[in-house]
Amino acid sequence: MLPIYQPYLPASCLHYAHDALDSTWISSQGVYIDKAKEKLKEIIGSKYLILVNNGTCATHMLALGLKFKYPNLKKIIVPNNVYVAAWNSFLFSGGWDFEVIDADVNTWNIDHSKIKGTGKDTAFLAVHNLGNIINVPALKKKFPDMIIVEDNCEGLFGTYDGKYSGTESLISSLSFFGNKTITSGEGGAVLTADEGIFEYLNSIRGQGQSSQRYIHDKLGYNYRMTNIQAALLYGQLMILDEIREKKSAVFELYKSELSGVDEISFQKTEGGTEHAEWMFGLRFNKFDFVKKRMLELFLFENNIETRPMFYSINQHAHLSTIKSDNTVADLLNHQCLILPSFPELTRSQILTVTRKIKDFLRTSK
């Protein structure tokens, strides 16, 4: 079975993880915590960066940091078709009222053209679906009073206005899960330029410890990254250019093979942005849900794993009562399919995937 994703872990990358194991520093202390943090800060250009144990915890820290900075804030604008962790992370601690905005049919992200005038009582959660970047600097100019945070778990190494995504909002989260462009197995990070938010989140990540050891002055969590995770991450960062080159080649070949197919359209990028090239997706413009499922089954029977586009918020039982217009989100879920997108995907494998898709379209008319 050709998997939807598998991490790129050459021996040169794994060397650092073996070194961490040999050192016996296997928990949340060790040299690779700082090595990975400083290397990632250098690449991304973030003033402050906190490593955590996974992307969901990183996104929960967005909610916690936002409440710390703006304790009276309750309303947050959220997208309608994202991975459930983005919504859950704001519900873990409660105190948030969601304003759900439907998706844009072209970018597959939130349709931010539907945002009305906002004041300082409103926050906005930008989620970069599949690595397609929302132009946060443009939104800041359009809505100068709106507080913006980013779930950048899928958007790492995408750009807006020539800067890496995640660097122009109040706080942003990253994920290094096994299916992300760079991985530490699990793992995540929080970025911010706000010193107060950084000090607060850095403390609550480690049980809320004060400057005096074993005296805890706030409710905290155990969200710390381990030295082994950090060593894996550091190894990935050392071969980052290689990983990104391989990913770009995958995207370019898919586009060149499928760009002439009338029934297919690609995710469109916003002006001033560059796609992070995490996952490659297609929209089959004339499909309904049944036909999309038939294509999924056909590809599965040909040993090709795929993934559906995210479901609208009301499809999840614990979110079913939240008010939402699901028109475009449901359409995209019925028409979009995510293809294998990992760095070591070969030309032959991509050509097999694209040929099978064309075969299905030709025979199912």
Section 64-83 average pLDDT: 95
Residue 9 sits at φ, ψ, to 5 deg, of -130, 70
- What is the spatial distance between Cα 139 and Cα 111, in angstroms, rounded to a whole number? 12
Angle separating helix axes 55-69 and 195-205, nearest 10 degrees: 130
Sheet with 75-79, side-by-side order of all strands:
48-52, 188-192, 171-175, 147-151, 122-127, 75-79, 97-101
What are the tokens at 359? Answer: 């075969």
Q: Is the pLDDT of residue 206 over 70?
A: yes
How much is the pLDDT for 99?
95
pLDDT band at 196; cut points 50, 70, 90: very high
Domain 240-363 has CATH 3.30.1330.10: no
Q: Is the pLDDT of residue 253 over 80?
A: yes
At 264-296, the pLDDT tens digits run 999 999 999 999 999 999 999 999 999 999 999
* Longest Cα separation, the chain: 70
Q: In the CATH hierarchy, which fold is given to the domain comprising 11-102+109-238?
A: Aspartate Aminotransferase; domain 2 (3.40.640)
Q: Is the pLDDT of residue 299 over 90?
A: yes
Q: Is the pLDDT of residue 118 over 80?
A: no
At 74-107, the pLDDT tens digits run 999 999 999 999 999 999 988 899 999 999 999 9
Provide the whole-model pTM: 0.96
Q: Which residue has the tokens 């009301």?
A: 314
How much is the pLDDT for 365?
73
- Mean pLDDT of all residues in the chain? 96
Section 10-28 average pLDDT: 94
At 137-184, the pLDDT tens digits run 999 999 998 999 999 999 999 999 999 999 999 999 999 999 999 999
How much is the pLDDT for 212?
87
Q: Is 335 exposed, middle or buried (0-12, 13-18, 19+ CB in 10 A)?
A: buried
How much is the pLDDT for 117?
66
The domain segmentation of the chain, as residue ranges, is: 11-102+109-238, 240-363
How much is the pLDDT for 105?
98
Section 33-61 average pLDDT: 97
